[in-house]
């Protein structure tokens, strides 16, 4: 269902009729991507690894565009992308900061599409927005986004703990608010981390509305079980740990990954999940931190699964590194 592609292998991937969509890392516009194929561009430099991730279904996929969402689906899974420009005049309607309204509109559009196409269960979401830690209209932009996202979940009746998907939200260097997602006909099982307070139960210190995501999610597709691990950083309970120290933060986030995998393994229908099998995106805030973070992660993630490192801002200004990941186990 997922693999990283080099530029040389991209053409091969584009010929696969089961291709659902792409994630494209880099500041340059994506090239050779067929019109209509969902492609989320991450406006962030790729520091190490292959710059394209491809998502595949189990059978030939069909494409469509509705409510501003470009999507492809194979009868069991749907991959979609929506971009919303922060244009106050175009967004109109509800009050509040422009990014808050953009986030709410993006998620409302996603929920409408999923209801109409019959894919009610969100599995995994990727959110990217510029200047995530900047304060505008008296509130940090990430907190503005959280309000809009929360209101859309609430209006759709989706603030049910077991159905909240895995997700990430990162700051990039430009572009519109961009949301990509995987959704299924069947539900996932939400996984929480015993070392951390559930994100949707954060105290008001972190904004008027808590972030709406679970720490991980387990889903089954085509005789396989998929684990999606949300963006994971150096947070214990609800507090950021080891400010200013990227190595210590990396070690702390590895402890969090280990705890999430243990919980997922307890709920899994297959074998236990291991750190060494995780395919991951690694976000670092400063280029100088790439080498020490990579060295620290290499000891636990190994090289058997693919990882890509990119330059991006984590949702809290004091956090220097974040990892998101997935793994797959065959069930037969």
Active site residues: 322
The rounded radius of gyration (Å) of the Cα atoms in the chain is 18
CA angle 33, 37, 42 (to 5 degrees): 70
Q: Read off the DSSP letter of residue 109.
A: H
In this structure, the dihedral spanned by the alpha carbons of residues 326, 303, 173 and 32, taken in order and rounded to 10 degrees, is: -80
Q: Read off the DSSP letter of residue 199.
A: G
- Kindly tell me the burial class for residue 26, based on how many C-beta atoms sit within 10 Å of its own C-beta (0-12, 13-18, 19 or more): middle
Cβ-Cβ contacts under 8 Å for 89 (sequence gap 6 or more): none
Distance of CA 122 to the CA centre of its chain: 12
Structure tokens at 203: 């105290």
């Amino acid at each position: 269902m997922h693999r990283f592609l080099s530029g040389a292998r991209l053409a091969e991937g584009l010929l696969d009729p089961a291709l659902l969509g792409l994630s494209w890392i880099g500041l340059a516009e994506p090239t050779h991507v067929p019109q209509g194929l969902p492609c989320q561009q991450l406006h962030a430099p790729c520091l190490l690894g292959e710059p394209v991730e491809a998502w595949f279904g189990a059978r030939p996929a069909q494409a469509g565009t509705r409510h501003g969402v470009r999507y492809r689906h194979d009868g069991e899974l749907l991959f979609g992308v929506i971009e919303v420009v922060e244009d106050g005049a175009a967004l109109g309607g509800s009050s509040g900061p422009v990014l808050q309204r953009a986030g709410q509109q993006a998620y409302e559009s996603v929920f409408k599409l999923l209801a109409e196409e019959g894919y009610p269960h969100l599995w995994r979401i990727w959110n990217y927005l510029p200047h995530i830690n900047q304060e505008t209209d008296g509130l940090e932009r990430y907190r503005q986004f959280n309000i809009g996202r929360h209101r859309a979940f609430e209006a759709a009746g989706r603030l049910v703990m077991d159905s909240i998907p895995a997700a990430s939200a990162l700051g990039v260097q430009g572009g519109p608010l961009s949301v990509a997602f995987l959704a299924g006909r069947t539900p996932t099982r939400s996984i929480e981390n015993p070392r951390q307070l559930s994100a949707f139960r954060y105290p008001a210190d972190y904004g008027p509305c808590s972030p709406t995501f679970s720490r991980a999610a387990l889903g089954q597709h085509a005789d396989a079980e998929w684990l999606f691990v949300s963006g994971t950083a150096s947070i214990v309970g609800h507090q950021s740990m080891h400010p200013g120290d990227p190595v210590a933060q990396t070690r702390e986030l590895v402890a969090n990954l280990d705890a999430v995998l243990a919980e997922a393994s307890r709920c899994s229908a297959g074998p236990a999940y291991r750190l060494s099998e995780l395919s991951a995106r690694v976000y670092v805030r400063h280029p100088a931190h790439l080498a020490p973070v990579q060295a620290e992660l290499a000891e636990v993630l190994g090289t058997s699964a693919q990882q890509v490192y990119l330059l991006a801002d984590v949702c809290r200004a004091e956090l220097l590194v974040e990892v998101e990941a997935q793994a797959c186990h065959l069930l037969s």
